[in-house]
Copies of this chain bind each other. A is one copy, B any other.
């Protein structure tokens, strides 16, 4: 069984540690801040309790005093350090130097493409991005993005490993800014921000439209299966019937200009007295409950054919 090294033990790093340990793997964790490692058992216990997990899982997660110790014997490295190119570059020089020769190196980076911080490494062919939605222990997707020099075998290894531990890898064929998830989030947000800024709908009305509408379908089908079921003849029929209308709706859609300080204030005003940390814990409990619901339904459908 592959031993996992987690480099950077903030919220995302700890969540990754739990994902791999939950699946029975041994996890070795390092953070450049020794206090983070000192607090690791307590932070893990809290996170696991919050989602009703088994506290014993934390027994497979081992804080280490040095990066070299965390990397020793590890066949897969999940790095979750700061999203700053120079910091990531410096970190990767060390990781590539100290990791086992056959280890695959994955980064949780959301904003930086792999070539930004791995292009000059001797071991660059084993580097890729494995981008989660925060926190991965309750949201299964992980986007796997290669640089043009990434060895397909490193991608295969990462894909198989993430499936083994119960995540859902989505494999990109090449680097693209924002990968898939944030590109889709960005276009939907741009139009959402514009509609709210122009007063066409309230902040709550906008959220309700997705939350009590399209989000319901997208939570178990995705947008392409959704349209496949929206016309009797499947998606070619959909395209003939609705393609021209949908195309028209995008032609004056908002873009970057919609991301303003002013609309941020409008949205903030719709969430008065918000305790972000408390609400994040609520969100993660809801994500855990939804994940359980969707896994149960999926199993039931498999059993019933």
Contact = CB atoms under 8 A, between A and B. Distances in A.
Interface of A: 111, 133-134, 139-141, 143, 168, 170-174, 176-178, 180-192, 195-196, 199-203, 205-225, 227-236, 238-240, 242-251, 253-261, 263-265, 267-268, 270-271, 274, 276-277, 279-280, 282-283, 286-287, 289-291, 293-294, 297, 301
A215 B220 CA distance: 8
Complex copy number for this chain: 2
B256 A250 contact: yes
A111 B264 CA distance: 30
9 contacts: A170-B205, A172-B200, A187-B249, A211-B218, A228-B279, A229-B279, A244-B259, A247-B259, A250-B258
B236 A223 contact: no
Given A213-B181, A222-B208, A255 B247 contact: yes
Given A185-B223, A250-B256, A256-B247, A264 B276 contact: no
A175 to B, nearest CB: 9
Contacts of A183: 191, 195, 249, 253
A27 B280 CA distance: 43
A205 B242 CA distance: 24
A242 to B, nearest CB: 8
A287 B216 contact: yes
Contact of A249 (B182, B242, B253, B268): B182
A211 B221 contact: yes
Contacts of A141: 208-209, 212-213
A174 to B, nearest CB: 6
A118 to B, nearest CB: 20
Contacts of A134: 230
